[in-house]
Structures are given as structure tokens and as C-alpha cells.
């Protein structure tokens, strides 16, 4: 019966983490580019209650020792695209990620395309940056700079990520830079570091640059749109109810085992 106490306790611990994950999903229901998470569970060791040496037995006699939360898997399906009409708001359609320079040689990746033009005071030019001021990287692995001689309101971003403007004198398209987008062999291996950023790990593999690998299906950029969170509130509420009931059932199991132990202790009275 003591085994039952620890088994039920492991269930309560696992469901607590499950509730924490669901709560985080609900908290980020309006976060641009957020990808919902799901908690995965794994059964613990089994104990043999009887010898399995007899091969004629129709089944084994085993009892489990509970459950533990194994890992959180992230769903990278595309969220709803919301039109903003802001020319620097960008949404990715496809499996690509934007590449962001966080400074000090720290590179991060994101689906959040809420970018801004930041004035470089010393140069009179503009840089394409994230909402928290980090530089968006180009295919040349450099910050995207729009020179002071270029009319900022005339800059357009193509679906392939190319920034350009039209030279009125020559009526010629002048390319400025191209936004770098990458994919990963195993997106589930990416590590979330907050602020809508991910970093590569050994499990995710190195970033694969779109346009340099013929096996990759290139993503497209929608200008004037943002990709919303892919959290479905109704689904998360159902999961929350199920997790809460599972927690309550494990709590009830502990109470039941405790009652059984109390009755056993009173037998000699």
C-alpha cells in the first residue's frame, strides 16, 4: 500500500507540470509568433509480483510505480495571420525563422516579425530591428541598414525578403538587402530562451539557410501582417479540466491508501 502513496504522488507531480504548461499556453494566447507546448509523460519502472519463469503463464504479474513528465513538445503549426498594414510587420508562411543578432556574437531565431526601423543617430541611416532593438540579419550575415540617401517611406519588402526601393531618376529597382531565413532539421530540439527567441542546440542541428539548400521549401513573407499565437483556447481549457481531474483523482488515491493504512493499524486494537 505504501507503493500506492508514491505512485499517486508521482501522478500529482506530473499533472502539476502539465497544468503549468497549459497555463503558460493560455498566458501567451496573444503573443506574436508563440507556439503552444504539450507535456509528454512516461511510465516509471514496473515491479514483478510473481515469477515469470513459467513460460506457460498467459500473462505477467506486474505493477507500475507511477509516471513522470518526460518533456515538452512544441507545436510549430502556423498561427492566424493578422493584418496590421505596418510595412515593417512581417509574417512567415512556411517553416522558416528570422535570424536575430542579440549582440556579443549571440544569434537567436524567432517567428515574431514585429520589426521596426531604428534611426542610427551617428549615421542618419536606419536599421531594421526587433521590437526590443536587436538587429535583423541579412543573407550576408550583417545588420540590414537603409542609408541616409534612401527615402525610408519608399522601401518595400518582397515576399522573398528582399528590401528595395525604386530610383525615380532612372526608374530602376535598387535592392538594399535580403532578410535571412533559416530552417532546422529538428525544430523540436530548439531551446526557448524567452522574448520569443530560440537558440540552436545539438538536438536541433545547425541552421539551414533557405536559398542555399535546394531540398528546403522556401518560406514566403507577408508584409503588413503578424503571425499570432497558435494556441486554441477551447482546446487548452479542455486539457486544463482533464489535468485538474487527474490531479484530484491522484489526491483521492492518496487519501484512500491512507485510510487503508489507518484501518490496518487499528486491527490489533
What is the model's pLDDT at position 259? Answer: 87
Mean pLDDT of the 84-91 span: 94
| pLDDT given for residue 202 in this prediction | 94
Each residue of 36-46: pLDDT tens digit?
999 999 988 77
The pLDDT tens digits of the residues spanning 116-165 come to 999 987 778 999 999 999 999 999 999 999 988 888 888 999 999 999 99
The H or E element containing residue 98 is strand 97-101
**Confidence grade of residue 268 (pLDDT, cut at 50, 70, 90):** low
pLDDT band with cut points at 50, 70 and 90 for residue 1: low
Over 80: is that where the pLDDT of 49 sits? no
Phi, psi of 92 (to 5 degrees): -95, 125
For range 228-233, the mean pLDDT: 95
pLDDT in tens, 167-215: 877 788 899 999 999 999 999 999 999 999 999 999 999 999 998 888 8
DSSP string, 228-264: -----HHHHHHHHHHHHHHHHHHHHHHHHHHHHHHHH
Query: What is the average pLDDT score of the chain?
Result: 89
Q: What is the pLDDT of residue 56?
A: 61
Distance of alpha carbon 97 from alpha carbon 112, whole angstroms: 9
What's the pLDDT at 71? 84
Residue recorded with cell 525578403:
161
Average pLDDT of 239-266?
A: 90
Considering the entire predicted model, what is its pTM?
0.85
- Mean pLDDT within 46-67: 70
Confidence check: pLDDT of 236 > 90: yes
Question: Percentage of the chain surpassing pLDDT 70?
Answer: 95
With a pLDDT cut of 90, the percent of the chain lying above it is: 65
Give ∠ CA 113-111-30 in degrees, rounded to 5: 80
Amino acid at each position: 500500500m505504501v507503493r500506492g502513496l508514491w505512485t499517486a504522488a508521482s501522478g500529482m507531480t506530473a499533472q502539476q507540470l502539465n497544468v503549468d504548461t497549459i497555463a503558460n499556453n493560455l498566458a501567451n494566447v496573444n503573443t506574436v509568433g508563440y507556439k503552444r507546448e504539450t507535456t509528454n509523460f512516461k511510465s516509471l519502472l514496473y515491479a514483478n509480483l510473481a515469477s515469470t519463469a513459467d513460460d506457460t503463464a498467459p500473462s505477467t504479474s506486474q505493477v507500475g510505480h507511477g509516471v513522470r513528465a518526460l518533456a515538452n513538445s512544441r507545436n510549430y503549426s502556423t498561427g492566424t495571420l493578422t493584418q496590421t498594414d505596418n510595412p515593417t510587420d512581417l509574417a512567415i508562411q512556411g517553416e522558416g525563422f528570422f535570424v536575430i543578432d542579440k549582440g556579443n556574437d549571440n544569434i537567436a531565431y524567432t517567428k515574431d516579425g514585429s520589426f521596426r526601423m531604428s534611426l542610427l543617430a551617428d549615421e542618419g541611416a536606419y536599421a531594421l530591428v526587433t521590437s526590443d532593438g536587436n538587429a535583423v540579419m541579412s543573407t550576408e550575415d550583417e545588420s540590414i541598414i537603409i542609408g541616409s540617401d534612401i527615402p525610408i517611406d519608399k522601401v518595400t519588402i518582397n515576399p522573398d525578403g528582399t528590401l528595395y526601393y525604386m530610383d525615380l531618376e532612372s526608374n530602376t529597382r535598387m535592392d538594399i538587402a535580403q532578410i535571412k531565413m533559416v530552417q532546422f532539421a529538428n525544430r523540436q530540439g530548439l531551446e526557448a530562451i524567452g522574448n520569443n527567441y530560440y537558440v540552436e542546440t545539438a538536438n536541433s542541428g545547425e541552421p539551414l539557410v533557405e536559398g542555399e539548400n535546394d531540398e528546403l521549401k522556401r518560406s514566403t513573407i507577408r508584409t503588413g501582417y503578424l503571425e499570432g499565437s497558435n494556441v486554441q483556447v477551447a482546446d487548452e481549457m479542455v486539457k486544463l479540466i482533464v489535468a485538474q481531474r487527474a490531479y484530484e483523482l491522484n489526491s483521492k488515491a492518496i487519501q484512500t491508501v491512507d485510510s487503508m493504512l489507518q484501518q490496518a493499524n487499528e486491527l490489533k486494537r
